[in-house]
Structure 1
């Protein structure tokens, strides 16, 4: 059984490798080793995730895609999630999440009969869909609460916004100046394509102002 673990954190300030030990321990407890690990810092709402796309490219039928939780795979809008899920299914990958017990049986499918395996796969697929929907809803609710908090702070005159990561901004500006594309710049700077686009737009506005 070839196990591919996927580790993701939303920002460069967060440690994407935080759950690596837990994933390796889980695999060991089921008599397996994590054969390949894919790590990146990018929002779960993004469809363009270089390491996840590389995992899908490398994957073979029957491989296990191991994650800490389904929200590490997706906080996407439904159309983007459908596209990702279709790509996972077309590769024959089996999703296993530490916080989704119904998925754990995929670690020992050779120990159960075909009928039971298919039934469990159907149940797990339903649970994965539910968890993906919950992850998206949680993301939306947090954004709404954040927006409400910012609006209240602005009314009180105390909102200053999150300070920009100057080193990251400098790195992205250098990459853009070297004619790197949006995706390539995001990959080399280890940030999301959304961040690169924002920095690019800021550069454009400053050039117009000059």
Structure 2
């Protein structure tokens, strides 16, 4: 059996469109393509599992960027070890030099994986710093409460006096029944 080029991609949110990765993998002459539509931090990646099953000795796994393959240096290095043990090469089309068929490519892969993890950690730290600064200025995160404290008092009164059922109260306040139950439990 001849070796194949097998492409793998991943989009991490429902807002991202997988077509750009699919197009890039097609342009890289991939014989088969697998695209996961979920976060890289999730352990269950069905398309990645199917991709691993499809890989054979001598094949080349093609990704657009390393961050589409894994989210941490350890994860990427574990994947690289797995691929090497299976006799599969790795190429990242948008990251020149990532080609594990060469010693230089292996070294470059390791460095890029470390940089990708560092960049992710820095982004996370900046986000947390921004949230802390916003809290210090008195801003709260999350969405606004569906009901004001005055509305919660009115809901409690309607319910406790038996003037209305939970369904009627929910309809009157244009919220769901679970929201009414949470309001009743909160006091």
TM-score (normalised: structure 2)? 0.67
State the alpha-carbon separation in 1 of the partners of residues 8 and 87 from structure 2.
Answer: 16
State the alpha-carbon separation in 1 of the partners of residues 62 and 10 from structure 2.
Answer: 12
Does the CA contact (< 8 Å) of 2:62 and 2:91 recur in 1? yes
Q: Are the structure 2 counterparts of residues 69 and 124 from structure 1 closer, same or farther at C-alpha, using a change threshold of 3 Å?
A: same
Where structure 2 has 5 or more consecutive residues not aligned to the other structure, the ranges are 145-181
Name the structure 2 match of 1:43: 39
Does the CA contact (< 8 Å) of 1:8 and 1:17 recur in 2? no
The alignment covers a number of residue pairs equal to 145
- Give the 3-state SS of the residue equivalent to 1:14 in structure 2: coil
TM-score (normalised: structure 1)? 0.60
- Give the 3-state SS of the residue equivalent to 1:86 in structure 2: helix
State the alpha-carbon separation in 2 of the partners of residues 134 and 60 from structure 1.
Answer: 29
Does the CA contact (< 8 Å) of 2:22 and 2:35 recur in 1? no
Q: Are the structure 2 counterparts of residues 130 and 162 from structure 1 closer, same or farther at C-alpha, using a change threshold of 3 Å?
A: farther
| RMSD (Å) for aligned C-alpha atoms | 2.6
Q: Are the structure 2 counterparts of residues 22 and 77 from structure 1 closer, same or farther at C-alpha, using a change threshold of 3 Å?
A: closer
Name the structure 2 match of 1:144: 125
| Structure of higher CA gyration radius | 2
Q: How far has the Cα of 1:77 moved from its partner?
A: 5.0
Q: Deviations over 1:160-180 (max 9, x none)?
A: 3379xxxxxxxxxxxxxxxxx
Q: Which residue among 149, 158, 181 is the counterpart of 2:139?
A: 158
Q: Which has the higher contact order (CA 8 A, sep 6+)?
A: 1
Q: Are the structure 2 counterparts of residues 77 and 121 from structure 1 closer, same or farther at C-alpha, using a change threshold of 3 Å?
A: closer
Name the structure 1 match of 2:13: 11
